[in-house]
Structure 1
Amino acid sequence: ATSRPLYLILDDNFYYQSMRYEVYQLARKYSLSFCQIFLECPLECCLQRNRQRSHPLPDQTISLMARKIEMPDLKKNAWEQNSLILKSFDCTSEDNEQIISLLTTALENPVKQNEENTEQKEADRATCAASAVHQADQTCRRIISQTMKDAKDKNVCPSEMKSLAEELNKLKAEFLEDLRQGNNLKKQNQYFDPATSIISSFQHEATNVVNKYI
Structure 2
Amino acid sequence: MKAGEEAGGADSEGPRKLGLCVLCGLPAAGKSTFARALGHQLRQQRGWAVGVVAYDDVMPDAFLEQVSAAPSPSQWKLLRQELLKYLDCFLMAVVNECQMSAPPDRTEAMWEDFITCLKDQDLVSSAALEAQSCYLLTKTAVSRSLFLVLDDNFYYQSMRYEVYQLARKYSLGFCQLFLDCPIETCLQRNGQRPRAVPAETIHLMRRKIEKPNPEKNAWEHNSLTIQSPACSSEASLEVTDLLLTALENPVKNVEDNWEQKETDRIICSASTLHQADQMLRRIISQTMKEAKGEQVPPYNLKLLAEELNKLRAEFLEDLRQGSNKKYLCFQQTTGISDVISFFHYEKDNIVQKYFSTQH
TM-score by length of 2: 0.32
Determine the C-alpha separation between the residues in 1 that align with 2:197 and 2:220: 30
Q: Is 1:56 matched up with 2:201?
A: no
- The residue matched to 1:94 in structure 2 has which SS? helix
Determine the C-alpha separation between the residues in 2 that align with 1:70 and 1:25: 18
Aligned to 2:219: 79
Shift of 1:45: 1.4
Shift of 1:54: 2.2
Aligned to 2:251: 111
Aligned to 2:171: 31
Determine the C-alpha separation between the residues in 1 that align with 2:209 and 2:178: 11
Relative CO higher for 1 or 2, CA cutoff 8 Å, sep ≥ 6?
Answer: 1
Unaligned regions of 5+ residues in structure 2, if any?
1-10, 14-142, 268-319, 322-359
Aligned to 2:263: 121
Equivalent pairs counted in the alignment come to 126
- The residue matched to 1:79 in structure 2 has which SS? helix
Determine the C-alpha separation between the residues in 2 that align with 1:10 and 1:66: 20
Higher-Rg structure is 2
Identity of aligned residues (%): 60
* Greater strand fraction, Structure 1 or Structure 2: 2
Letter paired with 1:45: T
Determine the C-alpha separation between the residues in 2 that align with 1:30 and 1:47: 38
CA RMSD of aligned residues (A): 2.7
Cα distance per residue 1:72-125 (max 9 Å; x no partner): 00100000000011111211111110110000000000000239669x737x97
Aligned to 2:21: none
Cα distance per residue 1:13-50 (max 9 Å; x no partner): 11100000011011111111100101011211111111
Determine the C-alpha separation between the residues in 1 that align with 2:213 and 2:173: 19
Of the three residues 11, 15, 23, the one matched with 2:155 is 15
Determine the C-alpha separation between the residues in 1 that align with 2:149 and 2:168: 17
Cα distance per residue 1:156-200 (max 9 Å; x no partner): xxxxxxxxxxxxxxxxxxxxxxxxxxxxxxxxx99xxxxxxxxxx
* Greater helix fraction, Structure 1 or Structure 2: 1
Give the 5 Å matches for 1:119-198. Answer: 121=263
Unaligned regions of 5+ residues in structure 1, if any?
126-188, 191-214
Aligned to 1:41: 181
Q: Is 1:6 matched up with 2:146?
A: yes
Determine the C-alpha separation between the residues in 2 that align with 1:116 and 1:38: 29
Determine the C-alpha separation between the residues in 2 that align with 1:69 and 1:116: 29
TM-score by length of 1: 0.53
Letter paired with 1:71: K
